[in-house]
């Protein structure tokens, strides 16, 4: 089967790598208030297209990743061109432009033989599935066992968002850290695919700024009848959670790379402890948050956004030597590529990819479990 991927670490055979072509600055909208790092408060975030130079720099690093993957015998596919400068207008909202196709992981996910398009959480990303549609059709036409699921699109109207979220001071965020209420309400199905991490029969899904409880319920009702178990997970000290792959990164059966500043809620951690998984903290990134690229909206923890080529081989950002040393000690073959010019497009190596085929089958890595299905 061409489409076959059950977890984040099995030997990789085919993958999609994003592209910075046509990228635009993300507009300010209810689900997103982008800011320039280290600029005085109130400095407006740029609008319109990214500069050709910034796009070339990112594309060069994406091409480096493609070359590395191909040198390991992995088939690499790319998104189609898309007019990210086109405004989006629906009956419920309007945005002046869209974003980019650098991070397919945010919108597309393969769960076994099922390709799922996430509903997404931000207006500027409403049509971000489109650069991948030709590929989806190709996979779907090639094999009748491939299924294709598009999650229901939320309205993204003003009521879907909790705008005051953006103005809460740190003390308020700390006070609310166990309520897991962020900038989206619970009324509609909302999730980004990058809040999901796959562990064979089990998937974890992070409640975040980009995924709500209704989205997780939708995932449970879709996946449980197909034999999966879906576990919501929470990281109470992450006040701006968005996408789980800079927080909790499985590397091989029994081993997860964890973020020392974002511990997993003890209640959720039981699943891993009861099944003898080892949680290993990543070292501090080599950059502080204030040293990340000016227009990058992600945290310094892009350092741990690694891409596994197999349970023994991991691709890591070239400058993250402390993490490379840790992975080496954990017996991984560590490959490196420069990737920092990609950061301002929202991700690093895991975010910028979407795996289509990894060898292997669905396995149960959590035999000691008390799971109550929804249905």
Q: Which of the residues are catalytic?
A: 192, 243, 351
**What is the token pair recorded at 266?**
């003890």
Q: Where are the beta strands (DSSP E) in 97-201?
A: 108-111, 114-117, 147-150, 196-199
Please say which residue, 200 or 346, places its beta carbon nearer to ligand ABU.
346
Minimum CB–partner distance for residue 362 and ligand ABU (Å): 26
Minimum CB–partner distance for residue 28 and ligand ABU (Å): 18
Contact 231, 161 (CB under 8 A): no
Handedness of CA 363, 367, 373, 375 (dihedral sign): positive
Tell me the pairing of strands 202-206 and 196-199: antiparallel
Minimum CB–partner distance for residue 137 and ligand ABU (Å): 27
Biggest alpha carbon–alpha carbon distance for the chain:
55
Chain contacts with ligand ABU (rule: CB under 6 A) = 194, 242-243, 246, 298-299, 301, 346-347, 351
Contact 275, 367 (CB under 8 A): yes
Contact 83, 333 (CB under 8 A): no
Please say which residue, 146 or 296, places its beta carbon nearer to ligand ABU.
296
Closest CA to 69 of 119, 118, 11, 108: 11
Please say which residue, 100 or 146, places its beta carbon nearer to ligand ABU.
100
Please say which residue, 148 or 240, places its beta carbon nearer to ligand ABU.
240
Minimum CB–partner distance for residue 299 and ligand ABU (Å): 4
Contact 317, 62 (CB under 8 A): no
Minimum CB–partner distance for residue 346 and ligand ABU (Å): 5
């Amino acid at each position: 089967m061409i489409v076959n991927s059950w977890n984040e670490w099995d030997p990789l055979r085919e993958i999609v790598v994003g592209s910075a072509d046509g990228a635009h600055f993300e507009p300010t909208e209810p689900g997103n208030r982008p800011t320039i790092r280290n600029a005085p408060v109130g400095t407006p975030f740029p609008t319109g297209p990214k500069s050709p130079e910034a796009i070339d720099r990112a594309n060069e690093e994406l091409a480096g990743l493609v070359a590395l993957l191909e040198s390991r015998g992995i088939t690499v596919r790319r998104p189609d061109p898309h007019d990210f400068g086109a405004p989006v207008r629906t009956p419920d909202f309007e945005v002046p432009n869209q974003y980019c196709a650098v991070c397919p992981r945010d919108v597309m996910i393969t769960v076994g033989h099922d390709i799922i398009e996430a509903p997404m959480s931000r207006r500027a990303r409403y049509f971000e599935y489109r650069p991948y549609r030709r590929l989806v059709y190709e996979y779907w036409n090639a094999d009748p066992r491939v299924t294709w699921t598009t999650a229901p699109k939320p309205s993204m109207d003003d009521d879907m968002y909790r705008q005051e979220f953006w103005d809460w001071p740190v003390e308020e965020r700390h006070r609310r850290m166990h309520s897991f209420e962020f900038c989206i309400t619970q009324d509609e199905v909302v999730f980004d695919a990058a809040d999901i991490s796959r562990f064979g029969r089990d998937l974890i899904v992070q409640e975040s700024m980009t995924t709500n409880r209704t989205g997780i319920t939708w995932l449970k009702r879709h996946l449980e009848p197909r034999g999966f178990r879906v576990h919501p997970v929470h990281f109470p000290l992450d006040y701006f959670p968005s996408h789980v792959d800079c927080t909790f990164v499985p590397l091989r059966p029994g081993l997860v790379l964890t973020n020392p500043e974002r511990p997993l809620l003890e209640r959720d951690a039981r699943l891993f402890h009861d099944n003898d998984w080892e949680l290993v903290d990543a070292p501090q990134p080599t950059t502080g948050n204030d040293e990340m690229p000016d227009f990058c909206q992600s945290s310094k923890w892009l350092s741990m956004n690694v891409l596994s080529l197999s349970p023994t081989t991991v691709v890591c950002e070239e400058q993250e030597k402390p993490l490379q040393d840790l992975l080496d000690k954990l017996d991984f073959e560590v490959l490196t590529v420069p990737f920092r010019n990609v950061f301002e497009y929202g991700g690093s190596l895991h975010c910028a990819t979407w795996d289509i085929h990894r060898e292997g089958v669905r396995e149960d890595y959590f035999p000691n479990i008390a799971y109550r299905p929804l249905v």
